[in-house]
């Protein structure tokens, strides 16, 4: 006996990267978290938050945060839809746009949450293999012409970053929605916000989980024209973002100097790690994100993952097509990256 629809029974639940019960002493480079603390201004808002206001239902439109986010990205407030992380926006969009006879397309490998939402909505799933060099297969995505296409840009787990011109071309070719998931965009050279402004079928997603170091707060937002927003509002939980994340998130976004400083530190370590691994004969793919997709010499990624874990260094191994010889390593502090490189050197010395 089952209580659920067939498609729910058939699907498997999303498995996040490992979360150690006691993260102290673990070098955690497996979930693309920011290694630096959130903005001191955001933490001050958290400390000073007046808890008595939690008695009341919040503003369902989270208007104050909408205005702050709108200012940062340069659109009107009615172009912003806040969510309980950008995952929440992905759920709202899939609910509104996908279903039986309304396919979802996305390149693979990518963020598995798109796939999960497609299964939940019982939508046909069209997986388009990334090009040989892991760049975005825009011609093949355009040929699918799905009701809904997801492009993480920069992509995870590859780090590949498409040019805005390519995304613009894709948006113009397809008749469905194009969601550009910019979770990692602050670590890249370009962003596609302009397409949300110009293209009637584009939604850009942003999150405070990565560059703002607020993964635990659960706050993200979508940017699209008010017509699209009107549709998405119908699938939103009524009070999806409370006043506490809204206030802390707005403070974090207003602290531009601190944000820039964190991003610069992470980019410096990304360059350092890429060079250090290349020196050790690893293959390193170009990345516009706060992680690197890499291949150990010999391609035994699973054994390398296990050996690192035994030395309390957590990275990500994906048991999936084209990824079994690779690892995804999040960029940490200089100390984290040192610890990783020391562990790799110790492993190499043991083998010799």
Give me the residue whose beta carbon is nearest to ligand PLP: 85
Q: Give the β-pairing of 291-295 and 283-284.
A: antiparallel
User: In the chain, where does DSSP find H-type helix?
Assistant: 6-10, 40-48, 63-73, 86-97, 113-120, 138-144, 164-173, 193-198, 226-233, 243-254, 256-279, 301-310, 334-351
In whole angstroms, what is the distance from residue 263 CA to residue 299 CA?
30
- Return the range that interacts with ligand PLP (CB under 6 A); candidates 10-18, 203-211, 293-301, 339-347: 203-211
CA-nearest of 205, 223, 215 to 245 is 215
> Does the footprint of ligand PLP cover residue 111 (CB under 6 A)?
yes
Q: Does 152 bind ligand PLP (CB under 6 A)?
A: yes
Q: Is 85 in the site for ligand PLP (CB under 6 A)?
A: yes
Among 34, 153, 156, 161, binds ligand PLP (CB under 6 A): 156
- Closest to 86 measured CA to CA, from 240, 287, 307, 293: 240
Between 156 and 213, whose beta carbon lies closer to ligand PLP?
156
Q: Which stretch binds ligand PLP (CB under 6 A): 8-16, 57-65, 83-91, 333-341?
A: 83-91
Going by their DSSP bridges, the two strands 202-207 and 148-152 should be labelled as unpaired
- For residue 94, give Cα distances in angstroms to 7, 82, 102, 105, 346: 15, 16, 10, 11, 46
Q: Show contacts with ligand PLP in window 314-343 (CB under 6 A).
A: none
Output the six-digit token pair for 118.
Answer: 């497609």
**With CB under 6 A as the contact rule, which of the stretches 45-53, 85-93, 161-169, 226-234 interacts with ligand PLP?**
85-93
Q: By CB under 6 A, tell whether 181 contacts ligand PLP.
A: yes
Q: Quick one: 75 or 152, whose CB is closer to ligand PLP?
A: 152
Nearest distance in Å: CB 310, ligand PLP: 27
Which residues, 211 to 270, sit near ligand PLP by CB under 6 A?
A: 215, 220
**Which listed residue (130, 180, 183, 343) binds ligand PLP by CB under 6 A?**
183
> Could you identify the residue written with the tokens 């200012």?
71
> Shortest distance, CB of residue 328 to ligand PLP, whole angstroms?
10
Which residue's CB is nearer to ligand PLP, number 157 or number 243?
A: 157
CB-CB neighbours of 291 under 10 Å: 28
Return the number of the residue (111 or 134) whose C-beta is nearest ligand PLP: 111
The H helix count followed by the E strand count for the chain is 13, 12
DSSP 220: E
Q: Which of 284, 280, 283, 348 is nearest to 311 (CA)?
A: 348
Q: Which of 39, 207, 211, 225 binds ligand PLP (CB under 6 A)?
A: 207
Nearer to ligand PLP, 14 or 57 (CB): 14
Least separation in angstroms between CB 352 and ligand PLP: 37
Site membership for ligand PLP, residue 209 (CB under 6 A): yes
Which residue number, 251 or 339, has a Cβ lying nearer to ligand PLP? 251
Burial class (CB in 10 A: 0-12, 13-18, 19+), 11: middle
DSSP 8-class letter at 155: -
Judged by CB under 6 A, how many residues of this single chain contact ligand PLP? 14
Find the shortest distance in angstroms from Cβ 145 to ligand PLP: 23
Cis peptide before 109 (omega within 30 of 0): yes
| First-residue to last-residue Cα distance in the chain | 56
Q: Which of 29, 65, 87, 314 binds ligand PLP (CB under 6 A)?
A: 87
Question: Which lies closer to ligand PLP via its Cβ, residue 183 or residue 301?
Answer: 183
Q: How far apart are CA 313 and CA 307, in angstroms?
A: 9
86 counts as binding ligand PLP under rule CB under 6 A: yes
- Which CB, 250 or 276, lies closer to ligand PLP? 250
Strand partners, 221: 82, 206
| Beta carbon of residue 273, minimum distance to ligand PLP (angstroms, whole number) | 19
**Binding footprint of ligand PLP on the chain (CB under 6 A):** 32, 85-87, 111, 152, 156, 181, 183, 207, 209-210, 215, 220
């Amino acid at each position: 006996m089952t209580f659920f629809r067939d498609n729910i029974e058939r699907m498997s639940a999303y498995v996040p990267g490992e979360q150690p019960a006691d993260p102290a002493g673990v070098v955690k480079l497996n979930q693309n978290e920011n290694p630096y603390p959130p903005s001191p201004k955001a933490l001050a808002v958290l400390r000073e938050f007046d808890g008595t206001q939690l008695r009341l239902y919040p503003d369902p439109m989270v208007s104050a945060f909408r205005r702050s986010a709108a200012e940062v990205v340069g659109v009107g407030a009615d172009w912003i839809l806040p969510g309980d992380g950008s995952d929440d926006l992905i759920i709202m969009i899939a609910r509104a746009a996908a279903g039986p006879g309304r396919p979802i397309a996305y390149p693979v490998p990518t963020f598995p949450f798109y796939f999960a939402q497609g299964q939940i909505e019982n939508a046909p799933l069209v997986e388009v293999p990334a090009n040989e060099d892991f760049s975005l297969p825009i011609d093949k995505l355009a040929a699918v012409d799905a009701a809904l296409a997801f492009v993480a840009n920069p992509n995870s787990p590859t780090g590949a970053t498409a040019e805005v011109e390519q995304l613009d071309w894709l948006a113009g070719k397809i008749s469905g929605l194009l969601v550009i998931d910019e979770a990692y965009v602050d670590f890249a050279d370009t962003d596609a916000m302009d397409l949300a402004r110009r293209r009637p079928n584009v939604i850009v997603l942003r999150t405070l989980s990565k560059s703002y170091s607020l993964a635990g707060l659960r706050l993200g937002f979508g940017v699209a024209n008010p017509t699209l927003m009107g549709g998405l509002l119908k699938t939103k939980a009524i009070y999806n973002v409370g006043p506490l994340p809204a206030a802390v998130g707005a403070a974090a976004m207003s602290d531009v100097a601190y944000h820039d400083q964190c991003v610069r530190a992470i980019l410096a370590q990304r360059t350092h790690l890429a060079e250090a691994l290349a020196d050790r004969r690893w293959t390193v793919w170009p990345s516009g994100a706060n992680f690197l997709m890499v291949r150990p010499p010999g391609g035994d990624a699973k054994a390398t993952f296990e050996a690192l874990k035994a030395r309390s260094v957590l990275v990500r191994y994906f048991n999936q097509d084209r990824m079994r010889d690779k690892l995804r390593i999040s960029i940490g502090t200089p100390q984290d990256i040192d610890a990783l490189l020391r562990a790799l050197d110790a492993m190499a010395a043991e083998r010799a």
